[in-house]
């Protein structure tokens, strides 16, 4: 595979199906990263009837033997929409689907592709989390995307599971999958293409929008996972949310935010602060990120609980 031009390193990636407008925000956008490696960029907002639960970034690799898909979408219909986009690039079948985590958009589309003969790969911890949280996930999807969007969706879990890492070659492409343990959620993993120098980060990296620290997150382990990815020295990063970017831009939006928040919360705790005063922590340095107002308070509370208790 050939590298794309240096122009793309500045963060300007080739958009294959047009630039987004407000009306198109819920649509998936195809972006070429390097030859035969693509990102599928979904909505930066919440799950909705329009995006069918595909409010994340996905990706796929075209090989001479078929397609490897990184994350299949949040519903059966969402998976079908992803497949339609893949078909604009190649008629090759999807042979492998890699789940990078336990969030709905990382695995609930498995069934769509499994019915067509694809093998599913995920960390054992992610699969355990998928099973434990299934009822909550389906309820949230019904409340946000709506019953019509969820129609036809059923759980299907990885038939290839691993504890720490899994490597395989398919076609002429080498895939290294590694789990960082608990980051945004248990079993979060990244997919590394060593020859193309592309990493698909799953929910370990957010750009353009603020990351969400949840009750199942571990901000300290999240930082360690980022550092392990960064040590690979990737040339291109396909984040879990947002458009393809560089590792420096990923650090600014994810690592720097988590580090800043953990430092501020530690100082707050040391000063004897109480949880009801967390809104006084200044996170304005990151106010340019989408969803800042909705998430800053919750993120501070979750990190406080993690560090205090």
pLDDT for 24: 62
Domain count, the chain: 1
Cα–Cα distances in angstroms (integers) from residue 161 to residues 1, 131, 157, 262, in the given order: 28, 14, 9, 32
**Residue 96 lies in domain:** 13-247
pLDDT for 2: 36
- Closest C-alpha among 49, 69, 51 to residue 59: 69
Q: Is 259 inside a domain boundary?
A: no
Q: Is 199 inside a domain boundary?
A: yes
User: The domain that contains 191 carries what CATH number?
Assistant: 3.60.15.10
How many Å apart are CA 250 and CA 299, to the nearest integer? 18
Q: Is 279 inside a domain boundary?
A: no
Are the C-beta atoms of 134 and 154 separated by less than 8 Å? Answer: no
Q: Tokens standing for 51?
A: 């995006």
* CA 5-6-8 angle, 5° bins: 80
Q: Is 197 inside a domain boundary?
A: yes
Q: Where are the beta strands (DSSP E) in 78-153?
A: 94-98, 119-123
Q: Quick count: other Cβ atoms within 10 Å of Cβ 13?
A: 20
* CA 124-129-131 angle, 5° bins: 95
- First CA to last CA across the chain, in angstroms? 49
**Separation of CA 266 from chain center:** 27
Q: Is 274 inside a domain boundary?
A: no
Q: Is 214 inside a domain boundary?
A: yes
pLDDT for 309: 76
pLDDT for 121: 98
Buried b (16+ CB within 10 A) or exposed e, 269-282: eeeebeeeebeebe
pLDDT for 25: 65
Q: Is 170 inside a domain boundary?
A: yes
Q: Tokens standing for 194?
A: 């060593």
Chain segment 19-55, per-residue pLDDT in tens: 444 346 678 999 999 999 999 999 999 999 999 999 9
149 Cβ contact partners less than 8 Å away, ≥ 6 residues apart: 49, 52, 53, 75, 77, 78, 141
Kindly tell me the sign of the dihedral angle through the C-alpha atoms of 257, 258, 259, 264: positive
The residues of the chain scoring below 70 in pLDDT are 1-25
pLDDT for 308: 87
Cα–Cα distances in angstroms (integers) from residue 302 to residues 229, 253, 297, 306, in the given order: 24, 18, 9, 6
CA atoms within 13 A of residue 275's CA, in its CB half-sphere: 11
Q: Is 112 inside a domain boundary?
A: yes
Instruction: State the pTM of this model.
Output: 0.91
* Residue 177, strand partner residues: 166, 191
């Amino acid at each position: 595979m050939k590298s794309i031009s240096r122009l793309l390193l500045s963060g300007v990636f080739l958009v294959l199906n047009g630039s987004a407008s407000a009306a198109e925000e819920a649509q998936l956008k195809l972006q070429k990263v390097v030859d035969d490696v693509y990102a599928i960029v979904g909505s930066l907002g919440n799950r909705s009837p329009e995006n069918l639960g595909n409010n994340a970034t996905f990706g796929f690799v075209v090989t001479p033997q078929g397609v490897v898909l990184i994350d299949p979408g949040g519903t059966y219909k969402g998976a079908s929409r992803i497949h339609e986009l893949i078909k604009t690039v190649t008629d090759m079948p999807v042979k492998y689907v890699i789940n990078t985590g336990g969030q709905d958009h990382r695995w609930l589309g498995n069934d769509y592709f499994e019915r067509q003969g694809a093998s599913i790969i995920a960390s054992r911890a992610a699969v355990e989390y998928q099973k434990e949280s299934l009822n909550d996930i389906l309820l949230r999807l019904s409340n946000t995307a709506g019953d019509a969007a969820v129609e036809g969706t059923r759980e299907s879990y990885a038939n290839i599971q691993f504890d720490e890492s899994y490597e395989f070659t398919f076609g002429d492409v080498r895939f290294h999958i590694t789990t960082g343990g608990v980051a945004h959620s248990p079993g979060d993993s990244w997919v590394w293409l060593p020859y193309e120098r592309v990493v698909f980060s799953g929910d370990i990296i957010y750009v353009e929008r603020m990351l969400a620290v949840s009750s199942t997150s571990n901000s300290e382990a999240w930082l360690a996972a980022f550092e392990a990815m960064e040590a690979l020295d990737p040339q291109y990063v396909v984040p879990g949310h947002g458009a393809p970017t560089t590792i420096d831009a990923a650090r600014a939006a994810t690592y720097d935010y988590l580090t800043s928040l953990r430092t501020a919360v530690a100082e707050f705790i040391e000063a004897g602060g109480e949880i009801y005063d967390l809104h006084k922590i200044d996170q304005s340095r990151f106010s340019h990120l989408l969803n800042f107002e909705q998430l800053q308070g919750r993120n501070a509370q979750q990190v406080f609980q993690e560090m205090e208790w």
